[in-house]
Amino acid sequence: MSDCTQCVVRNRAICSSLNPQELAVLGQKGRKQSVRRGQTLVWEGEDALVVANVITGVLKLSVSTADGREQIVGVVFPSDFIGRPFGKESPYSVTALSDAEVCVFQRSAFDQFAREHPDLQHKLLQRTLIELDDARQWMMLLGKKTAEERIATLLIRISERLSAEGCSGPLLNLDEFELPMDRQQMADILGLTIETVSRQLTRIKASGVITLPDRRRVVINDRGALKHLAQAA
């Protein structure tokens, strides 16, 4: 990384805890890497050789079932951290849902740097606890919410996480965005069938809450109404 101060997620990523001198040292250990849609950055069960900050794009975390099926267990967005610091093997594969750019570090070098900078370790712990809270919320979504509520929740979450990027200033939720996953992937994430996903999207569209110009594009016409659908439970 030639200049971390120009990174569009520097105020949101885990390295935001570092001062300029520390950031410069860490930047020398990282490199930008482009990941094309469908390309796997980390494989489940393999040695965890790298960790990374997501700069742009969206990636999925997935595991394989005993019969070879894929289960998506998470989705990561710009400013999220991926990989397993201080670990030996990756518990999941990391694959790009869209073209993405990541800042990659060799795990061993990152681990050593983190040991020398407690603020970074604290940030990693905070991020881990946030991810744990998110996982618990997702368990509630899958266990208690209806299909319509699940779809609405996912759309709200994507619009918030794909907020306008920038080094500083408030982030604005997007009312128009491209879905980073197809209908089948949405179904896998939400524990639904692809038919149910398509039917519920059509239903929400018919209500006027959203517009679907094409298979990927979403326009939120009434954010309040969409949030109501998501929280109806």
By CB neighbour count within 10 A (0-12 exposed, 13-18 middle, 19+ buried), where does 174 fall?
middle
| Token output for 197 | 């996903």
pLDDT at 205: 97
Whole-model pTM? 0.83
pLDDT at 83: 87
pLDDT at 165: 52
pLDDT at 112: 92
pLDDT at 1: 55
pLDDT at 131: 81
Q: Which tens digits make up the pLDDT trace of 49-75?
A: 899 999 999 999 999 888 888 888 889
| CA dist 153 → 1, 7, 111, 147, 160 (Å) | 35, 29, 35, 10, 11
pLDDT at 97: 92
3-state SS string for the chain: CCCHHHCCCCCCCHHHHCCHHHHHHHHHHEEEEEECCCCEEECCCCECCEEEEEEECCEEEEEECCCCCEEEEEEECCCCEECCCCCCECCCEEEECCCEEEEEEEHHHHHHHHHHCHHHHHHHHHHHHHHHHHHHHHHHHHHHCCHHHHHHHHHHHHHHHCCCCCCCCCCCCCCEEECCCCHHHHHHHHCCCHHHHHHHHHHHHHCCCEECCCCCEEEECCHHHHHHHHCCC
pLDDT at 137: 77
| Token output for 157 | 């979450």
For the chain, which residues score pLDDT lower than 70? 1-3, 164-172, 232-233
pLDDT at 80: 92
| CA angle, 115 then 31 then 9, to 5° | 80
pLDDT at 125: 87
pLDDT at 134: 80
